Structure 1
Amino acid sequence: MNHPRTGDRVVELFNSIDFITKSQFREILKSGRLSRNGRPPITCIIADGIMCFTIDVAKEFQLPTILFRPFSASCFWALFCVPKLIDAAELPLKGDYNMDKLVSNVPGMEGFLRRRDLPSFCRANDLSDSKLQHVVSETHRAASGYGLILNTFEELEEFSLTHVRTKFQNVYTIGPIHASLKTKTTLQMRSSSVLEEEDSKCMAWLDDQALKSVVYVSFGNMAVLDALQLMEFWHGLVNSGKPFLLVIPGNLISGQLKVPRFHFEGTKQRGKAVNWAPQEEVLAHPAIGGFLTHSGWNSTLESICEGVPMICWPFYADQQVNSRLVGEVWKIGLDMKDTCDRVIVEKMVKELMDVRREEFVESANQMATLARKSVSRGGASYCNLNRLIEDIKSMNRVKQCFAVGIEVFDTESSTA
C-alpha cells in the first residue's frame, strides 16, 4: 500500500505483478470464490494494461479480457512503435543526440513528435532496461485480448487512434472518464474530514481572487522534486506577479533538504500553499486562469474539460508525450519539459496569463466544448461506453448459453 510506485522503484511493482499476482489471480478464479453468496458467474475480466497476464489466465477459464490503459492513446501508440524505432536506429538515445529531432517511425505523429517527447521509458541508454522492456512487452501483449479501453475521445487523438485500431479489434474510447461519470450518474464522491478542511481553505481563498487571475500548480501524487527544484518554481511564480495556488503533498520533496518556511510565509498575499486540493473543483473555479502541471493524463483531461490552458512540466512515463500534444498539437498551453529555472517559469506564466492569453483561452474553450459533446448523449464517448456495456452483457448471455449447453450435454451423457 505504501510503495512509492515511481522512479526506479516502479520495477519492483512490475516484478511483483509478474511473479506473485499472476498465481494468486489464477487461484482466485479456480476457487470460484468470486461467484459465491448469490453473485453471478464471472463472464469478463477488465484489467489494467500492465497486467496482461490476466489474458493468459482468463483464457484457461474461457473468459475474455478487456484491458484498460490510463495513458493517452498517443503514448500507447508510441510505445507500440518502439520495436520500429529500434529497427530504424532511432532508439536507444545515446551520446549527444539532438533531442529536438523529429521521430520518423511513429505513424501519425511524424510531424510533431521529437526524441525528447517520447515516453520517459524510451530514454534508457540500454535496450535491455527492465522498465522499457516491460512496458513495451505489455503494450504488444494487449493485442491478444478481446478489447482495449482508452480514457480519451475521438476528436482529441484521432491521429493516433486511427493507427491503434489497425492492431486492436475492439477499441473503446470512453473519455474523459471523469466527465462521463458525471453524465451517467449523480453519485458524488466526498473526501475525508481532514481533506475537507484543506478543501474549504483553498476554495475560500480562490473566492477572494479576481476572475481568471490565479495559476493553479500541482505535480500530482507521483512526481518527486528536490527542494531546489521546488524553490525554482516558487521564485518563478512569485516573480511573475500572478497569484497562485500551490499543492505540496508530503511525498513531493525528495531528500533531507527542507524548504525554509519564510519563503512561504513572506508571500502569503500573493500565493497559497496547501497539502491537498480538490483538483476538479479548483480547475472549475472562475478564478483559475492557468494550470502548471506535470502533464499526467488525468490532470490533462480535467484541465481540458474545464477549458484551462496549461504550462507542462512532465515528470515521467506518458507525460512527455502529453505535454507535447498540449503545446504543439492542441495549442492549449506551453511545454516546459527538461528545464527547471525560475526565469523560464516566470516567462511562461506571463506568456500564458498575459501575452498569449486570448489565443490559449480560445483554443482551450473549443477543446472543452468537444470534450463535453463527446460524453453527452449521442456523442462518440457516450455511444462507445454504451457499446462496451452491451458487449459485456452479450458475453454474459453467451456464457449462460455455454453453461446450459454443458449441462444438457452432461444430462444426455449420463442418460445414455
Structure 2
Amino acid sequence: MDVPPHVVILPFPAVGHIKPMLMLAEHLSLAGLTISFVNNEQSHQLIRRRSPGINFLSIPDGLPPDHPRSGPSIVDLLISTSTACKPIFKHLIASMTHAPTCVIADGIMSFSIDVAVELGIPAIAFRTYSATSTWTYFHLQNLIQEGEIPVVAGTESEELERQVRCIPGLEKILRRRDLPSICRLDPHNQILQFFINQASKMRNASALILNTFDSLEAPFISRLHSIFPTVYAIGPLRSPAQHDSPTPLQIDKSYIQWLDSQPSRSVLYVSFGSVATLSRDELVEFWHGLVNSEIPFLWAIRPDLIDNGSGAVPDDLRSKRGRIVGWAPQEEILAHDAVGGFLTHCGWNSILESVWAGKPMICRPLVAEQQVNGRCVSEVWGLGLDMNRLSDRSVVEKVARDLMEGEKERISRSTARMAHDARDSISEGGASYENLHKLISDIKILHSK
C-alpha cells in the first residue's frame, strides 16, 4: 500500500496565524495527504479535537505556562519562539517515523525553514499577511537605508503625509503614516531586526503560499515571483468543515436576537481583532463617536482589549443604540443582513472576511502590517474609508456616518463586485482553486521523487 505524502505545518501560535494555516491543513487532508499540525502547547489544547483527519502535535514555545501570549506580550512570544523552538522542532521532525515530504512554515517561524534545509526536506513559506504587506516587509532594510525608518511619533502631519518612494509599485500609494507599526522603532530595535531577519530567511523556501487572490492583489503577487520561483495565491481560504474558529474565549451569541430586530444593512460592526489593544481613553473616544453618530453598532470587546485593565465598558458609557458582546463569531456577524459596515483594525483575516461578506470597512489600523492593509482598502481597492490617525470622537462620528450614509452606495458597489470575484476565485476553474490544486499536485510530485 502506497504511503501518502506527509506535510508538516507550523504556524506562529496566534489565532490570526493559526486560522488560515489550519484551513489549508484541512484542504490538504481532504486531498488525501497526511498532515502533522504543530503548535505551542497552549494553542494545541484549543484545536486538537477540531479536525479528526489531522495529527495535532505540540512543542514548548520557551515561555512559562502562565506567561501572557496576547496583547503587548505577543512580542515576548515572537522572540521566544525564534530562539527556543529550533532544536525542539528539529528533533521532532528527525524522529518522525513517516518522513515529511515537505514543511509548510509560517513566514515568521522561519527557523523551521532552516531546519527543513538542514534535513534536506523541501520548505514552503506561508505568509499570513497580504501580498502587498509581504512585499513591503521585504523592503524594510531598504526603508532604513533611505532614511524612512524610524517614523517618529508626533512628527508633523505634513511629514507623515509624505509619500514613500523606495518600495517598487507603492511609490504613489504609501505615505509615511502607512508604513508598518514596527517602522516607528529605532533601526537597531530587536523587533524590527526580527522581522528583517525573518524576511531574509524566507528566501530559502522553495515557494510561497499566500491567502489572497488575483482580483485583489495581482500586481504584488506578480512582484513576489521575483523572490520566489513559485507563488500559490489560494485565498480567500474557507474551511471545508463547519466549525468555529480557534479561540481561547467563550463565544458570545447574545447578539443574534438584537441583530434580527435591526433594519437591513443598518448596523456598524466593530472589532479590533485578537491581539491589538486600546488605551482606556481611546475606547472612550470610540464609544462616544459611535453613540454620537446615531448609527446602531455591535462592538466585540474581548477581556484584554484595554491596555493594563479590564475590557469592561464603564456603566456611564452604555447606550441603547449600541450592543456590546465578548468574543463573537465574526464571519457569522458580517454575513448577517443587518450589518452594513465594519470598523476594523485591518488584520488580514478580518479584511478577507469583510470582502467575502461584501461589507465596506472603516480602517483604523493599530499594529504590524495593518497600516498597509488599511491604505489598500481605502485607496487601492475602494472597499472602505481610512481613519489612520488619532481617533477622537468627532472623527469617529464623521467617518461612521460617511460609511453608513454618505458613501454607502458608492462603496457598496465595489464591495459587491469584489465579493463576487472572491467567490469566483475559489470556485472550480477559478485562479485560487487552480493554485490550491497545483500546490497539492506539486506536493505529490515531491513525494514521488
TM range (shorter): 0.7 to 0.9
Residue aligned with 2:208, SS: strand
1:292: which partner in 2? 343
Is 2:225–2:231's contact at 8 Å kept on the other side of the alignment?
yes
Deviation of the 1:6 alpha carbon:
5.3
Q: Which runs of 5+ in 2 are unaligned?
A: 1-41, 43-65
Is 1:304–1:371's contact at 8 Å kept on the other side of the alignment?
yes
Q: Whole-Å Cα distance in 2 between the matches of residues 286 and 111 of structure 1?
A: 36
Q: Whole-Å Cα distance in 1 between the matches of residues 362 and 351 of structure 2?
A: 10
Q: Whole-Å Cα distance in 2 between the matches of residues 190 and 137 of structure 1?
A: 34
Residue aligned with 1:211, SS: coil
Q: Whole-Å Cα distance in 2 between the matches of residues 342 and 3 of structure 1?
A: 35
Q: Superposition pairs for residues 127-146 of structure 1, below 5 Å?
A: 127-146=187-206
Structure 1 counterpart of 2:295, from 229, 242, 247: 242
Q: Whole-Å Cα distance in 2 between the matches of residues 301 and 279 of structure 1?
A: 11
Q: 1:8 to 1:129 in 2, by over 3 A?
A: farther
Whether 1:10 and 2:78 are equivalent positions in the alignment is: no
1:403: which partner in 2? none
Residue aligned with 2:203, SS: helix
Q: CA RMSD in A?
A: 1.9
Q: 1:360 to 1:3 in 2, by over 3 A?
A: farther
Whether 1:121 and 2:185 are equivalent positions in the alignment is: no
Whether 1:27 and 2:100 are equivalent positions in the alignment is: no
Q: Whole-Å Cα distance in 2 between the matches of residues 208 and 378 of structure 1?
A: 39
Structure 2 counterpart of 1:332, from 383, 386, 394: 383
2:60: which partner in 1? none
Q: Which runs of 5+ in 1 are unaligned?
A: 399-416
Decide which structure has greater helix share: 1
Whether 1:363 and 2:414 are equivalent positions in the alignment is: yes
2:207: which partner in 1? 147
Q: Whole-Å Cα distance in 1 between the matches of residues 417 and 333 of structure 2?
A: 20
Q: Whole-Å Cα distance in 2 between the matches of residues 259 and 234 of structure 1?
A: 9
Q: Superposition pairs for residues 263-282 of structure 1, below 5 Å?
A: 263-264=317-318, 267-268=319-320, 270-282=321-333
Q: 1:119 to 1:316 in 2, by over 3 A?
A: same
Residue aligned with 1:144, SS: coil
Is 2:107–2:126's contact at 8 Å kept on the other side of the alignment?
yes
Is 2:70–2:274's contact at 8 Å kept on the other side of the alignment?
no
Is 2:270–2:298's contact at 8 Å kept on the other side of the alignment?
yes
Greater Rg by CA: 1
After TM superposition, the score normalised by the length of structure 1 is 0.87
Q: Superposition pairs for residues 128-277 of structure 1, below 5 Å?
A: 128-178=188-238, 181=239, 185=240, 187-190=241-244, 195=250, 198-199=252-253, 201-256=254-309, 259-264=313-318, 267-268=319-320, 270-277=321-328
After TM superposition, the score normalised by the length of structure 2 is 0.81
Is 1:113–1:324's contact at 8 Å kept on the other side of the alignment?
yes
Deviation of the 1:256 alpha carbon:
4.3
Letter in 2 for 1:289: G
Is 1:5–1:222's contact at 8 Å kept on the other side of the alignment?
no
Is 1:226–1:253's contact at 8 Å kept on the other side of the alignment?
yes
Structure 2 counterpart of 1:104, from 162, 165, 176: 165
Residue aligned with 1:54, SS: helix
Q: 1:112 to 1:243 in 2, by over 3 A?
A: same
1:79: which partner in 2? 137
Is 1:227–1:259's contact at 8 Å kept on the other side of the alignment?
no
Is 1:148–1:171's contact at 8 Å kept on the other side of the alignment?
yes
